[in-house]
Structure 1
Amino acid sequence: MLTPEFVQELLTDLESDRIERTISTNNTDKFAQAICAFGNDYPGHRQPGYLIVGANDDGSLSGLQVTDELLRNLAAIRSDGNVLPPPAMSVEKLVLPQGEVAVVEVQPSTVPPIRYKGRVYIRIGPRKGIANEQEERVLSERRASLLTTFDAHPVPEASLHDLTMRLFDEYRMQTIDAEVIAANHRTPEEKLASLRCFDLTAAKPTVAGVLLFGTNPRYFLPGAYVQFLKFPGPTMTDRPDDEKEISGDLRFIVETMYQKIVAHNLVASTQGEGFRDQPRPDYPEWALRELFHNAIIHRDYQSTTPVRFYWFHDRIEIQSPGGLYGEVTAATLTRRNSYRNPVLAEAMKSMDYVNRYGYGIQRAQDLLAANGNPPATFDIDDKVFLVTIHKRAA
């Protein structure tokens, strides 16, 4: 936790490149660029960076009164999906003898480069700027020594020929600023590496690269598929009405599951306002999507077990291997988020499958309640994450 004494030291250190001061309270672009630059830690300090709101360049305070709205807006930068992958940061209000400040502490990322709206920002001495191609390469190579998540690891058996570059180019257009794309002259390997889909040191695609753009991801990751079963009754003793093993690149899997959801989700008409019929599905489609996304993003891809999507007469069960991850517990499921696969989480956001980070389960519960369904229930241990969505009563 930050202390007034420590922040006072930050204010008086006018030479450090780990500190940015501003008197602006609503310049979100400036805030996000600073957070992005601190997260990238281009100088290699391996120490946090600090954005201090309410301070002049000379360290004096501006007389700002720190409001809850300002703190919420600063904290929202972490999860609004514009800074990718999401930075590790905290926001605090500090009361000093000479006034108030809001301080954002940003930890150096273990999966650089971090981008804000498709651009990589870094600290260059006391100022920030946009990284050039060589600086981005330095960050990409540094990531190899900082790997902590499985999706960023290289796949030893894979090569560039195992990826569909057309899919990557489409994804890159959604993720990288168009001017940056037009200006660069990188090799295919360097383009992939800039989005954590290729390991330049190992000269191999990463797990995320294979899952997102692989011609046959299941060959390298045997559990990378979805087992879909639709049963006519409440148990698995009946013969399925529909069954399919859905494998391929991540986008194909997601889009195919959407088709299954639409095909099997019965919609009834109920009387709404003004005596007009109002369509009411057995399950709100977007709730099913959110909970399926959660299974795809957070599953353990080292497991040979698939994601299971079982549709019964009275409920749907979505089961994924891996259990909870990081600091998330069953009690904090809707309030905290830790990413087993941060590169995949970033990709799902960039491809518009996810609106905001950390809100999927909460949003699904809200949609279920609005449709008249009971709340989804969770059965979680260290190996399996099972969510059950109950059918709306007739």
Structure 2
Amino acid sequence: MKFKESITNTFLKTVSAFANYGDGEINFGVKDDGTVVGVKDPVQTCLNIENKINDSIRPQVDYRLHIDEQTNVITLKIFQGLYPPYFYKEKAYKRNDSASVPVDSLELSRLILEGQNCSYDSLPSHASNLHFSILEKALQKKIGIEKLTPDLLITLGLREKNGKYTNAGALFADENDYRGIDLVKFGDNINVMLDRAQIEKVSVLKLYQDALQKYRQYYQNEVIDGAYRRKNEQIPENAFREAIANAIVHRTWDVNAQIKVAMFDDRIEVTSPGGLPKGLSKEEYLAGQLSILRNPIIANIFFRLGLIEQFSTGIQRILAAYADSKTQPQFSIFENSIKIVLPVVKMELQGVSEDANEVYSILQSAPLSSSHISQETSFSKNKVLNLLEELIQKGYVVKICNGRGTKYRRSK
């Protein structure tokens, strides 16, 4: 809401800003401190406001005027337009704190795309002579195609009928000019880098695959216990997959910036360029109730390949991976970036001791013997047996077989 004591042309900048980026109100006859003073001759003032808007803003904006007959305050309600950008004196404006300022060239290009109902990944690319062996192998494996033909590239939105590739085509090509992922494994603090991988100028599928490989290197191990082979995950793989896929699919690709993946002993931070798409609130984003696709072509191919499921379920799937964990993911949303923090899982069962929770956290997929649990926890075998009995009594763990072959697994 914006307050105006008198009528000057500066309010037209705010009209442009609200029409471009979201509904808003301007109250005429109210001082900046909120003091109501009203306007003289409100009917004539409304006519003046209408004339100024109709003569100065292009294209025409949708607005409503209302006069409070008791206070003589005029409320101008501006609605977000369907065909941005909306210009005042050949400039498009946005709100910046309490001021209306001109948008920069990047923001203007995004407004133009929005007004044309286009996405960046659908625009023609300057790239030529592209190759798609990585995508072709993925499609052969997932949906059984024989060859990635030019017609199929057109169907997928990677190429136009005139032979030119789209930006999505360049992003899926084996080699391209896009900055990808900057992945760092840190030691005890951010001053200690144990490993760094600059994954860039390659297919977005390779970005996904290489990031997943690094995750498995540092946060997964395979344990053999008798006849069983068990995968131990410090951080749920499903959660990391979703975080990386979301970063690739939903980031802004029209900026020269990398996805940042920071790996620590107790967490992974995934930061992607670009805030939320226009029209999507933080609450809707976190609840997974609405999905506005910034890059629909990229999202569709990731969906076809099974790398993402429904377009609006990513955050909910991350949360589901931590359903039984004491530690929970964190989501930070900024104007120009989104950060997802995936902590190491720590189980917390109700009504049992902290040590019993530690034992339960080790029991993941395959049944384990008490000896193996003792090795992983550093608890004595007798203590492990007592903790297992505590978990059995509470219904969290079940015993399989008896005697020397006795093993234990989660009850659910």
TM-score normalised by L of structure 1: 0.52
Instruction: Say yes or no: does 1:216 pair with 2:168.
Output: no
Aligned counterparts of 1:348 and 1:376: Cα–Cα separation in 2? 23
Q: Does structure 1 retain, via aligned residues, the 8 Å contact 2:132–2:172?
A: no
Q: Percent identity?
A: 22
> Between Structure 1 and Structure 2, whose CA radius of gyration is higher?
2
Shift of 1:232: 1.4
SS of alignment partner, residue 244 of structure 1: strand
Residue among 166, 189, 192 paired with 1:206: 166
Q: Deviations over 1:171-217 (max 9, x none)?
A: 56578896xx89xxxx954432221101235x42111111112x322
Bigger relative CO (Cα 8 Å, ≥ 6 apart): 1
Shift of 1:336: 1.6
SS of alignment partner, residue 323 of structure 2: helix
Amino acid at match of 1:152: S
Aligned counterparts of 2:190 and 2:140: Cα–Cα separation in 1? 43
Q: Does structure 1 retain, via aligned residues, the 8 Å contact 2:120–2:167?
A: yes
Structure 1 residues 378 and 254: CA distance shift in structure 2, 3 A: same
Aligned counterparts of 1:188 and 1:306: Cα–Cα separation in 2? 31
Amino acid at match of 1:194: T
Amino acid at match of 1:385: I
Partner of 1:256: 210
Partner of 2:410: none
Aligned counterparts of 2:221 and 2:280: Cα–Cα separation in 1? 35
Residue among 234, 245, 264 paired with 1:312: 264
Shift of 1:281: 2.5
- The answer for unaligned runs of 5 or more in structure 2 is 1-114, 347-357, 359-412
Structure 1 residues 265 and 174: CA distance shift in structure 2, 3 A: closer
Partner of 1:67: none
Instruction: Say yes or no: does 1:339 pair with 2:308.
Output: no
Instruction: Say yes or no: does 1:292 pair with 2:292.
Output: no
Aligned counterparts of 1:172 and 1:282: Cα–Cα separation in 2? 31
SS of alignment partner, residue 204 of structure 1: coil
- The answer for unaligned runs of 5 or more in structure 1 is 1-144, 270-275
Q: How many residues align?
A: 227
Aligned counterparts of 2:336 and 2:211: Cα–Cα separation in 1? 24
Shift of 1:253: 1.5
Aligned counterparts of 1:350 and 1:290: Cα–Cα separation in 2? 15
Amino acid at match of 2:197: K
Partner of 1:196: 157
Aligned counterparts of 2:265 and 2:141: Cα–Cα separation in 1? 39
SS of alignment partner, residue 309 of structure 1: strand
Aligned counterparts of 1:228 and 1:197: Cα–Cα separation in 2? 27
Structure 1 residues 171 and 330: CA distance shift in structure 2, 3 A: same
Residue among 223, 228, 235 paired with 2:183: 228
Q: Deviations over 1:235-271 (max 9, x none)?
A: 3122x111101121122111111111111005598xx
TM-score normalised by L of structure 2: 0.50
Partner of 1:149: 119
Instruction: Say yes or no: does 1:324 pair with 2:273.
Output: no
